Chains A and B, each alone.
Chain A
Amino acid sequence: MIELLAQTGLNSLYAAAYLSLVAVGLVLIFGVMGVINFAHGELFMLGAYVVVALYSGFGVPYILVAAIGLIFVGCIGILMEFTIFRPLRDSPLGGLVASIGFLLIAQALVSMGFGVRMEHVPPVTQEVIVFSEKVRLPLQRLFVILAAVMFLSLLWIFLRRTRFGWALRASAQDAEAAALQGISIRQTSLIAMFVGAGLAGIAGVLTAPLISVGPHMGHAVIVAAFIVIIVGGIGSLEGAIVASVAYAFIHTIVTTFWDGVIADITGLSLMLLVLIVRPTGLFGTTDRA
């Protein structure tokens, strides 16, 4: 039983790692621009397809692929900012609907380029850390966990210690006041979009060798990310991380003892419950709706 729990803990740590990367990006974009990016799961998917194209396709070294994935998906984020979020700044619902349009385009383009079948990326490393008979952690999963910790720490330093981060937090709190202080809203939006999208992209790059990659893989990710940001309190980065860990743990346990679909239903019901009982989320303070 202890072993089973330990294994479940490791599995959920891995799930929490990539989920929090996606969710934190989503929250960052919401905080600065006030819009929910429905296509965030597709940014994750694009990151995974960078691995399919470069790593399985051309054998580019994995670490280089990771860097390219981060920058490429970050630039897609900038593209979204320019084309849809900036013109629709005054209508958050319009921005959300337009991002759904972007979701369709991304899925369709990837389906045309790569086909709709599932791709399997060759494993980067086959090594497994064996704690005991029943408790093992594949090295790639450890990579994901470590990378998530690293990127989230970098993000924290960026937000707390640099001028850009300071500007970002200021415009998340009050865009108008920030603009009066000489902070360029355009610039902070671009940075938020690049960082948010890049984090989703790197999550896709990291998990691609561990899961099957397909044009519609973003759906499960965005559903999980929605649950996490609603439960954690939309707009709260810490809440998103804590909720990711909690959700991943619950989801993994339910999957282990019942099955995956029941786990999804549990997660969604939890989210509905939070929406009913405490719409600001468990960690949120202000109601922005």
Chain B
Amino acid sequence: MPSQLTRAGLWLLLICMLLAVPHGLSFSQQEILVFLTINVLVVTSYRLLALTGEWSLGHVVIMGVGAYASALASKELGIAVPVAMITGALTAALVAFGLSYPLFRMKGFYFLIGSFAAGEIIRLLWKRFRDPFGGPKGIKKIEPMPDFDIVIWRFDFFEPVSYYYFCLVVVGLSLWIMWRIEKSPLGLTFHAIHWQDKLAESAGINVRAYKTLAFVIASGFSGLAGALLAHYIGTINPNSFDLEQMVFVLTWTIVGGTATFFGPILGCAALVILNEIVLREFGFEQGRPLIYGFVLILSVLFLPRGLEGLLQDFTGALRGRGRQGSRQ
């Protein structure tokens, strides 16, 4: 085990790297960095739900609920943007709480199909009701984050670098909270529900209540990610949160692996970087769904433990422990 000091040093190094990263990049790459940071929050919150063993196909729609709520709160009600974002997150959590009643009567792929149906209903409601959701065209001209100064640094949130730092703080804080949750007795209960739901139930754990809790927390953070996205891009519509986006999130999570906290983050970062560097370089951006389709199939077939599994094997081999020991 690394000592406290080296640990602190590693964290410091990581933070310095994260702060330095945008300065070596072009404007469009900086924008991608902002999206990547937001998506890290999406996949990490998705994993929190996956901890209980349920795979949802409605997570991106829930993210959209946060985006719509935050956009409407700031636009229609004139609430300050940071407060609107929190409103968005809370709305997403509340909607998830409402949905949990029907959805957690199912499990396995009934849950998968049910969450898909629930998500589609929400998306169709956005499409149908022009007032207040703006119909198929969605909401435009969403209030951006207001500028502010900290000592010498002026935060102009049209600048991707500034917004990146803002997202870094929000996402970092959210990840820390989710990390604490997973390491708490609550997180252990989630794991127990995943691996032995019948046993957990007979041990007196209210499985449904805990699943609901995981779903509500995950949805709250997903809604927060949606709010961060909405106030950055300034325009959202029902298609911003469609099945294709959901499949991207699913792919990141599966490619990364869900056994550890960092798996989905790894998957998300690896695929986005691959996507932006390789595809953009070759002018093959429309090929993104194609690549994702292949990556998804190949990782389900050949990487059942995801990239994190590969990484564990690799570091395990370095330490001379071989392949065993890293298996769940």
Contacts and interface: CB of A to CB of B under 8 A. Distances in A.
Interface centre among B106, B293, B296 (most CB of A within 10 A): B293
A268 B287 contact: no
Interface residues of B, number: 39
A109 B290 contact: yes
A256 interface: no
B294 interface: yes
B116 A101 contact: no
Given A36-B113, A230-B113, A279-B106, A84 B124 contact: no
Interface residues of A, number: 40
A183 to B, nearest CB: 25
Interface string A78-119: 000001100110001110111011111101110110000000
A97 B109 contact: no
Contacts of B120: 223, 264, 268
B287 A108 contact: yes
Contacts of B295: 101
A289 interface: yes
Contact of A94 (B107, B118, B292, B300): B300
Nearest to B119: A268
Contact of B107 (A223, A265, A289): A289
Contact of B296 (A104, A269, A275): A104
B247 interface: yes
A255 B111 CA distance: 28
A272 interface: yes
A262 interface: yes
B234 interface: no
B293 A101 contact: yes
A219 interface: yes
A276 B102 contact: yes
Contacts of A17: none
Interface in B278-313: 286-287, 289-290, 292-297, 300-301, 304
- B contacts with A: majority SS: helix
- A contacts with B: majority SS: helix
A249 interface: no
B128 interface: yes
B105 A265 contact: no
Given A112-B286, A276-B102, A36 B109 contact: yes
A14 interface: no
Interface in B244-294: 244, 247, 250-251, 254, 286-287, 289-290, 292-294
Contact of B250 (A100, A223, A230): A100
A279 B105 contact: yes
B121 A97 contact: no
Interface in A211-247: 219, 223, 226-227, 230
A157 interface: no
A265 B107 CA distance: 22
A168 interface: no
A42 to B, nearest CB: 11
A51 interface: no
Interface centre among B102, B113, B128, B295 (most CB of A within 10 A): B113
A289 B109 CA distance: 7
B109 A226 contact: no
B98 interface: no
Contacts of B13: none
A261 interface: yes
A271 interface: yes
**Shortest Cβ-Cβ A-B pairs, 10 listed:** A104-B293, A101-B296, A105-B293, A108-B290, A101-B297, A261-B128, A108-B289, A289-B108, A104-B289, A101-B293
19 contacts: A88-B300, A97-B250, A97-B296, A98-B297, A98-B301, A100-B296, A101-B297, A104-B296, A105-B297, A226-B117, A227-B117, A265-B121, A268-B117, A272-B118, A272-B121, A275-B102, A275-B105, A275-B117, A279-B106
